Structure 1
Amino acid sequence: MNQADFRFHPTFNHFLPPSRREIAFTHFFDGRVSIKDTIESLGVPHTEVDLIVVNDASVDFSYILQDGDKISVYPVFAAVDIEPKVHLRSQPPTRFVLDIHLGKLANSLRLLGFDTLYRNDYEDEQLAKISSSEGRILLTRDRGLLKRSLVTHGYSVRETNPQLQIVEVLRRFNLFGAISPFRRCIRCNGTLESVSKEAIIDQLPPQTRQNYDEFSRCQSCNQIFWKGTHYQQMLQFIESVKQG
């Protein structure tokens, strides 16, 4: 029986049992196994990992475990004093696809201007394929989904509260500076463009026609938007998110 010592950065505590957090522990294995498969068998999806150090040398996911290896696993943005580094993550895109459980987070991302695909009937295989083929970050709370080999950019959302989730995602991908509200349709993710009142006046409710003059229309679903009763509430939400 072969053995290797693992130590995971504290960022990965979310995936590990308490007995394996912030300590080195021994993992036993037989035969020829890759470090990627081993890390995922220990609970950490490969999409969360950016740097693997084996016996003081940086390796990639194809590395085959050897008896006596001492392994440290780091997330994106962890500072490690070792050269050269084999980074496993390219710069992530800023487009997203979300699983069925993150509908409110999808709305928040769209409100803030981020290209975000979401449907409540996406199957796991569809989500993985969309993430891969369209270069989208897959956001989910399903760790198994992130372990699919097709997924190269993904993140396991830790928070359960939707308002905390949006702050978590913005922090994780350093996106506070990219916030551009009211550019996307919350309903379908299409882009919004200004439209004259005259062009849509026959589609407006009487009260709206009387009280508002500035409008936007979704270029995909033709939904019309104006600064109605919820506008101030949305502005307050955006400001609270910007505060982190």
Structure 2
Amino acid sequence: MNQVYFRFYAELNDFLPTERRNFGFVHTLDKNPSVKDSIEALGVPHTEIDLILVNGESVDFAYLLQDGSRISVYPVFEAIDITPLLRVRPQPLREICFILDVHLGKLANYLRLFGFDTWYRNDYEDAELAQISSSEKRILLTRDMGLLKRSLVTYGYFLRETNPKRQLREILRRFDLFRLISPFRRCINCNGSVHSVDKADIREQVQADTLQYYERFSRCDDCGKIYWQGSHYKKMQAFVEEVME
């Protein structure tokens, strides 16, 4: 049996038992597994990791651990550009877009409200989520660590919060999205793009009293849902302003 020395940094400690948080510890190996398999066996999803150093050298997930290795594991660096050191994943995504598991419907609505491309269905199977995340280069958001450990998933994040509003703020902070907020440009219903539409063009789709009291309307390009600035819009606008502040 081989022994190695692990040290996890910052929020990666969220996944470890209390006695292993913020300390180096010895871990016993069976043969010479990959560093990815060893890390996930300890409970940390590979999608949370940006940098792995083994004996001071940056390695990829396939690196095979040897007896006596010292492994330092780091989360995403938000304030420091470590691109020249990265070995564990491809280049950063050009555009931020998401796919959410079946338990995050409310969060999906909030992300769409704030203008972010967000795929969600309440009947996705885990295998579908992993496949879509991989093929469409979408960040998979979930509270299911087993889902994030699937080999197909390159971009993913484990939500610490359980309340949808706090989850929204967590995502905006984690991926530094405040400057990209563009509310009311996506359909909350289906994620399609929403554009202004002439009042005359939707006369047959909206009740007469709504047409009488409102002048500005928008319509989803995909599902055809009609939006106008009624009392519900004002509540959503207040919520957007509160979060942005």
Instruction: Give the alignment's TM-score, normalised by structure 1.
Output: 0.95
Runs of 5+ unmatched residues, structure 1:
none
User: Whole-Å Cα distance in 2 between the matches of residues 154 and 74 of structure 1?
Assistant: 15
Counterpart in the other structure of 1:172: 174
Q: Structure 1 pair 82/211, CA: closer, same or farther in 2 (3 Å)?
A: closer
Structural RMSD (CA):
1.7
Pairwise CA distance, 1:240:
1.6
Q: Structure 1 pair 79/197, CA: closer, same or farther in 2 (3 Å)?
A: closer
Counterpart in the other structure of 2:7: 7
Counterpart in the other structure of 1:19: 19
Pairwise CA distance, 1:148:
0.5
Pairwise CA distance, 1:83:
10
Counterpart in the other structure of 1:30: 30
User: Whole-Å Cα distance in 1 between the matches of residues 32 and 162 of structure 2?
Assistant: 38
Q: In the alignment, which of 123, 126, 129 is matched to residue 125 of structure 2? A: 123
Identity %: 61
Q: Structure 1 pair 236/79, CA: closer, same or farther in 2 (3 Å)?
A: closer
User: Whole-Å Cα distance in 1 between the matches of residues 148 and 76 of structure 2?
Assistant: 15
Q: Structure 1 pair 128/100, CA: closer, same or farther in 2 (3 Å)?
A: same
Confirm or deny: 8 A CA contact 1:10 1:21 kept in the other structure: no
| Runs of 4+ displaced beyond 2 Å | 78-84, 86-90
Runs of 5+ unmatched residues, structure 2:
none
Confirm or deny: 8 A CA contact 1:56 1:82 kept in the other structure: no
Q: Structure 1 pair 83/166, CA: closer, same or farther in 2 (3 Å)?
A: closer
Pairwise CA distance, 1:84:
6.0
Q: Structure 1 pair 227/57, CA: closer, same or farther in 2 (3 Å)?
A: same
Counterpart in the other structure of 2:142: 140
Q: Structure 1 pair 78/54, CA: closer, same or farther in 2 (3 Å)?
A: farther
Query: Does the alignment pair 1:236 with 2:219?
Result: no
Pairwise CA distance, 1:236:
1.2
Superposed, 1:1-244 pairs within 5 Å as: 1-77=1-77, 85-89=85-89, 90-92=91-93, 93-243=95-245
Pairwise CA distance, 1:88:
2.2
Confirm or deny: 8 A CA contact 1:185 1:192 kept in the other structure: yes
SS in structure 1 of the partner of residue 19 of structure 2: helix
Q: How many residues align?
A: 243
Confirm or deny: 8 A CA contact 2:10 2:75 kept in the other structure: no
User: Whole-Å Cα distance in 1 between the matches of residues 73 and 145 of structure 2?
Assistant: 17
For residues 48-69 of structure 1, give each alpha carbon's deviation from its aligned partner in whole angstroms, at most 9, with x where no partner exists.
0000011111111111101001
For residues 176-219 of structure 1, give each alpha carbon's deviation from its aligned partner in whole angstroms, at most 9, with x where no partner exists.
10000000000000100111000111211122011001110001
SS in structure 2 of the partner of residue 174 of structure 1: coil
User: Whole-Å Cα distance in 1 between the matches of residues 234 and 244 of structure 2?
Assistant: 15
Confirm or deny: 8 A CA contact 1:58 1:84 kept in the other structure: no
For residues 65-94 of structure 1, give each alpha carbon's deviation from its aligned partner in whole angstroms, at most 9, with x where no partner exists.
010011110011167899962342431341
SS in structure 2 of the partner of residue 114 of structure 1: coil
